[in-house]
Amino acid sequence: MRGGARVDWRALGDDFTANWHIYATMPIIASVIGYITKRAAIEMMYRPLEFVGVGKLGWQGVIPANAERMATVAMDLMTSNLIDPKAIFARLDPQEVAARLRGPMEAVVEQVTKELVEEYQPNLWERAPRQAKQVVLNRVRAEAPRLVERLMRELAENIDQVLDVKDMAVRQLVRDKAVLNRLIRDTATPEMRFIARSGVWFGLVIGLVQVVVWALTKSAWVMPVFGGLTGWLTDWLALKMIFFPRREKRFLGVVRWQGMFQRRKDQVAEDYADLVAREILTVGNVLEAVLTGPKSDRLFDMVQYEVRRSIDAQAGAVKPLVVAAVGPRRYQEMKKAAAHKAMARFPETVREIEDYATEALDIRDTVVRQIRALDAVQYEGLLRPAFRQDEWKLITVGAVIGFLVGELQVLLLLH
């Protein structure tokens, strides 16, 4: 020791014999602190989903509390590296879609036609011979598949004008924070398990150091200080070991190590893609985004244009007579009303192709392939944003819990 002081080994031996229970419990309690602080840190990432507390004093899970920011970061990566909406929606075959929608579309078109004629020329429709009515309906039915095919081609070519994939995904994750939790938790289950278990072993090592320091100093501060150190250092080490090193390295020429998340890239790709395809980029969510998202007006413009074009085409040679019968303004109103009626039935009608669209778009396998193609830094971005900005909170909480447990250890063992 410094200053020429010498260690009285006999005195230390006597003290150890007399207080062996204190020395024996130090590494054990340090291991417990390591585990508890890790479990607490993990659960505090996800729970509670909503803020619990009084005023500003309280807690909300780190991920739910920052849902919009974390969802935005995650979806930035997805839309810039994993998903190309135009390439994906080009996989939908307009002819196949038209064929699958033929039955539902014919029913919709027939109903819309009847409603329009009854609304704008009720007497004409009522007095028209049955054969004449059938001719009109047959012509409209024949045009329906062509209308769908043209609309699908235009949608595929201009999908970025109709669908904001990033906005859709962020809205879904912010609205349902449990999905955002699962996106991170399910993807990183082994990493979370490693964090908790590592606390036991890291804590044990620090506890052995604590034994030595306690034997030499007998300071009551040793236990709470080492408890805080255990909570802080083990959290910090575990988080770093998840991501680093990004590529496998050898230590001392024997031990191989690579960040756990980096090492599990293939499995992560499968898990991440499963959840994205099952709960985020579903056909139902895409349809909702197309109909209600920030670019939905563009879809209505497309539908309105195609419906009006179809009506003009069907009117053909008799268009002047139709205009004369209802008037130019009423004729334009009729075409606009037809578009509104078509849009009102659009969601229910399109559900008929949900299974086909899910299979054709192939979101899951696309995401798997794209994740596997990411470089180490890009791939890290799948999970790292969940920790980077707020990991200091988790580490600080671990240190505080460790300090308090250490202080409790003093009260129980020394008093």
Cβ neighbours, 10 Å, residue 78: 22
Which single residue is written with the structure tokens 């499963």?
A: 274
Residues 6+ apart with CB under 8 A from 357: 92, 283
Tokens matching residue 102: 């033929």
Instruction: State how far Cα 406 lies from the chain centre.
Output: 39
Query: How far is it, in rounded angstroms, from Cα 116 to Cα 121?
Result: 8
Residue 11 burial (10 A CB sphere; 0-12, 13-18, 19+): exposed
- What Cα–Cα distance (Å) separates residue 372 from each residue in 177, 267, 363? 26, 10, 14
Write down the pLDDT at residue 199: 79
Give the model confidence (pLDDT) of 79-126 as tens digits: 888 888 888 888 888 888 878 877 777 777 777 777 776 666 666 556
Residue 164 pLDDT class (50, 70, 90 cuts) = confident
The residue ranking higher by pLDDT, 12 or 316, is 12
Give the model confidence (pLDDT) of 182-208 as tens digits: 888 888 888 888 878 887 887 788 788
Write down the pLDDT at residue 33: 80
Number of residues in the chain: 415
Residue 374: phi, psi to the nearest 5? -70, 150
Average pLDDT, the chain: 78
Helix, strand, or coil here: 253? coil
Write down the pLDDT at residue 317: 43
Query: How far is it, in rounded angstroms, from Cα 415 to Cα 407?
Result: 11
Looking at residue 136, its amino acid is V
Helix, strand, coil percentages in the chain from 3-state DSSP, rounded to 5: 80, 5, 15
Write down the pLDDT at residue 318: 46
Contact (CB, 8 A) for 98 and 145: yes
Write down the pLDDT at residue 1: 47
Contact (CB, 8 A) for 330 and 120: yes
- Tell me the torsion sign for CA atoms 149, 153, 154, 155: positive
Give the model confidence (pLDDT) of 398-410 as tens digits: 788 778 877 777 7
Cβ neighbours, 10 Å, residue 32: 20
